[in-house]
């Protein structure tokens, strides 16, 4: 349903049935400087909300996502996401169809201070 990066958020706003809650979530994201990229239920079903923003060597940013997620995005959505890092689609159909997860579920995040 949702992916939050440092300056962007991918979210299926329609999945929040209560209109006031939907507006509150949108405003909260926008007020914290996140560009909100709204996705559809179909895109959510293709794991478009299961991306992970990663900072790699030399402070380069990438966005790990499945190939099915990538294929479900519109050209405009891809263009907007590319502002925040290189899109790196992964072919993980087996994980998505049998495991029920996607790219973010497969990657361990480490939030330790730099040594």
Q: How far is CA 58 from CA 54, 61, 100, in A?
A: 12, 9, 33
- Asked whether 52 and 64 are in contact (CB, 8 A), the reply is yes
| Residues 59-76, mean pLDDT to the nearest whole number | 94
Identify the pLDDT of residue 113.
76
Q: How confident is the model at residue 34 (pLDDT cuts 50, 70, 90)?
A: very high
Identify the pLDDT of residue 98.
74
Name the pTM for this structure: 0.84
- Bigger pLDDT: 105 or 30? 30
Environment class of residue 95 by beta-carbon count within 10 Å: exposed (0-12), middle (13-18) or buried (19+)? middle
């Amino acid at each position: 349903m949702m992916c939050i990066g440092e300056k962007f958020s991918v979210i299926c706003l329609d999945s929040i049935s209560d209109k006031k809650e939907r507006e509150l979530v949108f405003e909260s994201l926008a007020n914290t400087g996140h560009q909100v990229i709204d996705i559809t239920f179909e895109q959510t079903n293709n794991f478009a909300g299961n991306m992970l923003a990663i900072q790699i060597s030399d402070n380069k940013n990438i966005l790990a996502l499945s190939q099915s997620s990538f294929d479900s995005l519109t050209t405009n959505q891809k263009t907007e996401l590319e502002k925040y890092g290189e899109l790196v689609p992964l072919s993980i159909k087996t994980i998505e169809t049998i495991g029920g997860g996607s790219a973010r579920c497969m990657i361990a995040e480490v939030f330790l201070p730099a040594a």
